[in-house]
């Protein structure tokens, strides 16, 4: 790939919070241009149609937010491009799979993702992902970036995921997520006895010792990340906590809690102990609170704990919490 360097676009390869090989540059003279056209003039030997595919896969962000191909630059935004290999074209093939639908209308689809399902196509997982399943179940989603998927869950995290059904909903939901007006609540089982209520405000970036992991890093070395936590119950050497995300960094809950000495049960990547009765990190996205992207009506959607986490809590002699049991709020700050 050949990059054109000019006074108005100075691309450079830098580590970023999500992809260490991302290209970052400012488009100081790109005002008024569509993002796909602008990038086609800056990334030589890459066709505009391929750039549009990258955009559809969410590999192009403006000021850290995925955009549509029709997005017009306003001025000196920061553009981040994560180049994808040619076999990424497989990502747009539909794969039939069952989807557990919690809510659906003409603008919004919310599904309950099972454990083990990869959300977005990536190297090693170009097919059989949730995106492929959405393309099969809702073919009109092919015109949206990532088939309309607004946020992500790790492969072994279960629970609620939002998918936009049209461009207006995609833009509004993406903006609402960036503005922190969508509240995402998770339940986790962690090692040790946590404080009753606390807030973690610590930047997250790639772990310099292991590029497969994320880590809490010094200011300026990662992206800001805030998580609010409240303990729901404790016993048998673990705590059940509710976590509310203020930001959405990669592995945020897992990294933040591990940084305080409370790794998730079953999360071997971040120091959690393996258990015969928990074959994955004990984390479930159990509630979404948002305004409908078109009507503005408040939606409070929830997902009961899946059987494996219910059985884990029962084996520990701990109560199974309900999604509306507790509301995390700002408390002590941890690093």
CATH of the domain at 317: 3.30.2350.10
Q: Has 154 been annotated as catalytic?
A: yes
Average pLDDT across the chain, whole number = 87
Q: Which of residues 142, 160, 178 is at a domain's end?
A: 178
End-to-end CA distance of the chain: 40
104 and 51 both lie in a single domain: no
Residue range(s) defining the domain that contains residue 79:
2-85
pLDDT tier at 14, thresholds 50, 70, 90: very low
CATH of the domain at 29: 3.10.290.10
273 and 170 both lie in a single domain: no
Q: Which of residues 149, 178, 207 is at a domain's end?
A: 178
Statement: residue 89 has pLDDT above 80: no
What length is written for the chain?
335
User: Each residue of 135-169: pLDDT tens digit?
Assistant: 999 999 988 888 999 999 999 999 999 999 999 99
190 and 309 both lie in a single domain: yes
> For the range 3-12, what are the long-range contacts, defined as Cβ-Cβ under 8 Å and sequence gap of 24 or more?
3/42, 3/43, 3/44, 4/41, 4/42, 4/43, 4/44, 9/42, 11/42
**Alpha-carbon span 128 to 59, nearest angstrom:** 19
110 and 242 both lie in a single domain: no
79 and 124 both lie in a single domain: no
User: Each residue of 103-118: pLDDT tens digit?
Assistant: 999 999 999 999 999 9
User: Each residue of 265-322: pLDDT tens digit?
Assistant: 999 999 999 888 888 999 999 999 999 999 999 999 999 999 999 999 999 999 999 8
Catalytic residue among 36, 107, 112, 154: 154
22 and 146 both lie in a single domain: no
- The number of folded domains in the chain is 3
User: Each residue of 218-251: pLDDT tens digit?
Assistant: 988 889 999 999 999 999 999 999 999 999 899 9
How far out from the chain centre does Cα 228 lie? 17
80 and 107 both lie in a single domain: no
| Full-model pTM | 0.80
Q: What is the CA radius of gyration of the chain?
A: 20
174 and 190 both lie in a single domain: no
Tokens of 310: 């219910």
187 and 63 both lie in a single domain: no
| pLDDT attached to residue 86 | 78
């Amino acid at each position: 790939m050949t990059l054109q360097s000019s006074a108005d676009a100075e691309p450079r390869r830098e580590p970023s919070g999500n992809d260490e090989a991302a290209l970052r540059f400012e488009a100081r003279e790109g005002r008024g241009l569509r993002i796909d056209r602008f990038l086609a003039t800056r990334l030589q030997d890459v066709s505009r149609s391929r750039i549009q595919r990258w955009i559809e896969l969410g590999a192009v962000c403006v000021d850290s937010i995925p955009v549509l191909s029709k997005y017009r630059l306003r001025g000196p935004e920061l553009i981040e491009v994560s180049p994808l290999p040619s076999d990424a074209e497989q990502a747009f093939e539909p794969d039939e799979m069952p989807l557990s639908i919690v809510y659906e209308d003409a603008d919004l689809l919310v599904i309950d993702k099972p454990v083990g399902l990869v959300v977005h196509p990536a190297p090693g997982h170009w097919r059989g992902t949730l995106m492929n399943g959405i393309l099969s179940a809702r073919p009109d989603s092919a015109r949206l970036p990532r088939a309309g998927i607004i946020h992500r869950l790790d492969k072994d995290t279960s629970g609620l995921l939002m998918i936009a059904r049209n461009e207006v909903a995609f833009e509004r939901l993406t903006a609402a997520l960036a503005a922190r007006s969508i509240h995402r609540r998770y339940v986790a089982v962690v090692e040790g006895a946590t404080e009753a209520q606390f807030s973690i405000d610590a930047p997250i970036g790639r772990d310099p010792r292991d590029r497969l992991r994320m880590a809490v890093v010094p200011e300026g070395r990662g992206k800001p990340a805030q998580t609010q936590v409240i303990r729901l119950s404790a016993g048998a050497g673990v705590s059940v906590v509710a976590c509310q995300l203020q930001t959405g960094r990669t592995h945020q809950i897992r990294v933040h809690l591990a940084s305080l000495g409370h790794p998730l049960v079953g999360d071997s990547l971040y120091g959690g102990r393996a258990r015969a009765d928990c074959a994955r990190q004990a984390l479930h996205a159990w509630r979404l609170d948002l305004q409908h992207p078109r009507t503005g009506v408040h939606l409070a959607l929830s997902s009961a704990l899946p059987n494996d986490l219910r059985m884990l809590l029962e084996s520990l002699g701990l109560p199974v919490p309900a999604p509306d049991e507790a509301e995390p709020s700002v408390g002590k700050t941890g690093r």
